Amino acid sequence: MTRFAELCVTTNFSFLRGASHPEELVFAARDLGFAGAGVADRNTLAGAVRAHAAAKEAGVRLAVGARLVFRDGTPDILAYPKDRAAYGRLTKALTIGNRRAPKGECWLDLEDFLSCAEGQQAIVAPEIAAGAAPDERLREALRQARARCGEVWLAARFCFDGEDRRRLALLRAAAAETGARLIATTEPLFHAPGRRALADVLTCIREKTTLDSAGRRLAANAERCLKPPPEMARLYAQAPEAVEETGRFLEGVAFSLDDLSYNYPDETVAGRKDAQEALEDLTWKGAAERYPGGVPEKVRASLTRELKIVADLNYAAYFLTVADIVRFAREERNILCQGRGSAANSSVCYCLGITSVDPARFTLLFDRFVSSERNEPPDIDVDFEHERREEAIQYVYEKYGRHRAALAATLICYRGRSAIRDVAKVFGFSEDRIAALSKTQHWWSKAVTEEDLRKLGLD
């Protein structure tokens, strides 16, 4: 039985390039009998979380990485961290590339990869057109990557253009010359051949053209999909070691997103033993302020239980961090703020002043917020008045350092109407038809139906 892992997978998180969801690619890899898969989107790790969750469900071994696309003409390098420290170096390089570029772009140079190369397994993935040959830029990338990483792999993709045998021989020679290892791949953009049509549409949107005008910018075939291991062995019969190397590469990548965990700031207060003791002191002090007539027995029992769960799960520092930010906003700057969401189920949050709803009065359940059975960290949402929110953000930066605090980014995805408009443009629809078609969609709509098309005369 052929052991093969596809290590150059692109998902739809490579916007307007990948035509399949991470879940589709992972489950297809399982169904095809792959030894595993490697997901590496263009200058991002955004698709890794969904791929990781799908891999755990499907029982597929997953390598998490990023495809580094360089502005200086260097061939793409797929970087896969072997441990948590290497993952941190990779994310730092991506952050640098994003910060130096305009919004929506990432500017990377080969030196950025070399600075994070320690602990990475790297695949250099050149784009070699028909009639062309590996150039010195490719060889230099292979040499430098090998010098920094210890080993480097050279991707050999079948293009099905009649040049594959010649191209494979040239790549094999380049690998031998530079000490690289050849690795087999289809560099898939989608999980099955049927997605080629969608991939063409995405290409047209990216290139701002129509299907009729796209010409050679469209894929020549539907081969950039996942292929069964026996077929890969047949395609690479000229270089069987390229298929074997996929398994060897996968074995070397031990890093998993499960290795990541949040390290809470040290919120130990002077004169107290630890964060848990500090939290308990502040909680009971707050309880006395919330209930000046005496803490009700029901509340006392609830606080005792909650504090024990917090201690068992080691979350005390987190509660202290949030309480301190709220304290700063209210007491030092008089900024309006309010905790919300499931944190309102917590008597501890109420006594710390984070929330304003008494859970005991409304019989709210703490287990909806924190539970040892769920094994999920707490999530306390605090809203700050819009005009002064920046003051709270700057306080966090100043206290914890900009290298330890960050704003959460959201990944913008297509909504129904915007997707319809862009796809309709690809098909050359007139503006009035595009407007009419998009108006058939509402927030609850799942798709354009045949009835919608019939009403517009597009059936």
Write the pLDDT tens digit of every residue in 306-353.
999 999 999 999 999 999 999 999 999 999 999 998 888 899 999 999
What confidence score (pLDDT) does residue 1 get?
A: 64
**Better pLDDT: 405 or 55:** 55
What confidence score (pLDDT) does residue 443 get?
A: 66
What confidence score (pLDDT) does residue 159 get?
A: 92
What value does the mean pLDDT take over residues 98-118? 96
What confidence score (pLDDT) does residue 268 get?
A: 65
What confidence score (pLDDT) does residue 264 get?
A: 85
**Mean pLDDT of the residues in the chain:** 93
Q: What are phi and psi of 225, to 5 degrees?
A: -130, 175
Show the tokens assigned to 77: 């390098």
Percent of the chain with pLDDT over 90: 77
Is residue 441 over pLDDT 80? Answer: no
What confidence score (pLDDT) does residue 239 get?
A: 96
Q: Are strands 36-42 and 5-9 parallel, antiparallel or unpaired?
A: parallel
Show the tokens assigned to 158: 């079948």
Residues linked to residue 24 through DSSP beta bridges, in sequence order: none
DSSP character for 407?
P
Specify the range with the lowest mean pLDDT, choosing from 31-40, 182-191, 247-256, 400-409.
400-409
Is residue 447 over pLDDT 90? Answer: no
Q: Is 385 helix (H, G, I), strand (E, B) or coil?
A: coil
* In the block, residue with structure tokens 């008494």: 358
Is residue 90 over pLDDT 90? Answer: yes
Is residue 241 over pLDDT 70? Answer: yes
What confidence score (pLDDT) does residue 308 get?
A: 95
DSSP character for 367?
G
CATH superfamily ID and name for 5-259: Metal-dependent hydrolases (3.20.20.140)
Residues linked to residue 120 through DSSP beta bridges, in sequence order: 81
What confidence score (pLDDT) does residue 359 get?
A: 85
The residue among 80, 82, 146, 89 whose CA lies nearest residue 115 is 89
What confidence score (pLDDT) does residue 361 get?
A: 82
Is residue 37 over pLDDT 90? Answer: yes
Residues linked to residue 190 through DSSP beta bridges, in sequence order: 225
Please write down the HEC assignment for all residues of 37-68: EEEEEECECCCHHHHHHHHHHHCCCEEEEEEE
Is residue 139 over pLDDT 70? Answer: yes
Is residue 234 over pLDDT 90? Answer: yes
List the end-to-end C-alpha distance of the chain, in Å, as a whole number: 48
Residue intervals of the chain classified under CATH 3.20.20.140 are: 5-259
Length of the chain in terms of residues written: 459
Where does residue 104 rank: exposed (0-12), middle (13-18), buried (19+ CB within 10 A)?
Answer: exposed
What confidence score (pLDDT) does residue 372 get?
A: 78
What confidence score (pLDDT) does residue 366 get?
A: 83
Is residue 296 over pLDDT 90? Answer: yes
The residue among 243, 245, 248 whose CA lies nearest residue 232 is 243
What confidence score (pLDDT) does residue 362 get?
A: 80
Do 140 and 146 meet the contact criterion of CB atoms below 8 Å apart?
no
pTM score, whole prediction: 0.89
Is residue 444 over pLDDT 70? Answer: no
Angle at which helix 316-327 crosses helix 275-290, to 10 degrees, equals 50
What value does the mean pLDDT take over residues 6-25? 98
What confidence score (pLDDT) does residue 327 get?
A: 95
| pLDDT tens-digit series, residues 355-394 | 998 888 887 778 788 887 777 788 899 999 999 999 999 9
Do 269 and 276 meet the contact criterion of CB atoms below 8 Å apart?
no
Confidence of residue 452 (pLDDT cuts 50, 70, 90): confident
What confidence score (pLDDT) does residue 393 get?
A: 96
Strand order in the sheet with 76-81: 5-9, 36-42, 62-68, 76-81, 120-125, 153-157, 181-185
Where does residue 446 rank: exposed (0-12), middle (13-18), buried (19+ CB within 10 A)?
Answer: exposed
